[in-house]
Amino acid sequence: MANNFTSSVNKPITETSSRCLTESITTAHNFEVTSYSLLQGMGAGKFISSNTFNVSGYGWNIRIYPDGLKEGTDAYMSAFLCFCSGTTDAKVKFTFSLLEKDRKVNKLESATNTFTPVGGTWGWENFIANNKLKELLSCNDDCFTIRCVLTVFKEPRIEDSTVIVPVPQSDLHTHFANMLKDGEGMDVTFSVRDQLFNAHRCVLAARSSVFKAELFGEMKETTMKHVKIDDMEPSIFEALLHFIYTDTLPSNCEVDQNVALQHLLVAADRYGLDRGYL
């Protein structure tokens, strides 16, 4: 009863898989500005900047332009994030919050950008109108805080992994061995030199064409529930039944018992059990 199929079923199934991992690091930096009214009039394009803060190996600072980024924007305060140091192509998401003295958020803007050259900036020319800012300053002792929450996205990386799916060893032979041992559902009895052995017709017929002919063919044994065998030792027939049910030799059948094995080979040949030669 064979076995390329059985052996292939018992082999573990190897699966390959991969996944894309995108990691990010988030940091917040607070840039407090006091006596802001003294900064106004410094001119378009002029800015003050925060200390450089680092996120994931990149350096950043916040730039504030009191008179706007360029000519024509002097009615607004401009606010920008500057890429100060690190490798190029830094992809980030950031928010600028304008905080009052009591940490209440007065203004909030957010953006996503990839900074390519060091020194590049990204932000808002018209971050807040100066007339609105003047109202805020009058209630907050001429000061405010710009809070930047910055998330840096690392380069996506592909991770390969191999998953071994364990396949349990077949225990079919154990179930058949239990069938033989328990005797439930047995429907034929063999008398071998006055020793009786019970078995299942279907199992014998499935394993041996000779038994199939005897038990289900036109031979007289097909209607008999008791079959007599006079030309075989009981121990050999018992080993033969064990092999038929389990495809293995009994545990007490040692290889060096040459005589017993020779008789078993003869019995296997008699009943057409080709695997008995392996």
197/260 Cα distance (integer angstroms) = 19
Asked whether the beta carbons of 241 and 276 are under 8 A apart, the reply is no
- Helices and strands (H, E) in the chain, number of each type: 7, 14
- For domain 167-277, the CATH superfamily is Potassium Channel Kv1.1; Chain A (3.30.710.10)
**Domains 22-158 and 167-277 in one fold:** no
Could you tell me the pTM of the whole model? 0.54
CB atoms within 10 A of CB 196: 10
Task: Break the chain into its structural domains and give their ranges.
Answer: 22-158, 167-277
Query: Residue 191: CB partners within 8 Å, gap ≥ 6?
Result: 226, 227, 228, 229
**What CATH number does the domain located at 22-158 have?**
2.60.210.10
- pLDDT tens digits, the chain, 278 residues: what are they? 444 444 455 566 667 788 888 899 999 999 999 999 999 999 999 999 999 999 999 999 999 999 999 998 899 999 999 999 998 889 999 999 999 989 999 999 999 999 988 999 999 999 999 999 999 999 999 999 999 999 999 888 888 776 667 777 888 888 998 988 888 889 999 999 889 999 999 999 999 989 888 888 876 555 667 889 888 989 899 999 999 998 888 776 554 466 677 788 888 888 888 764 44
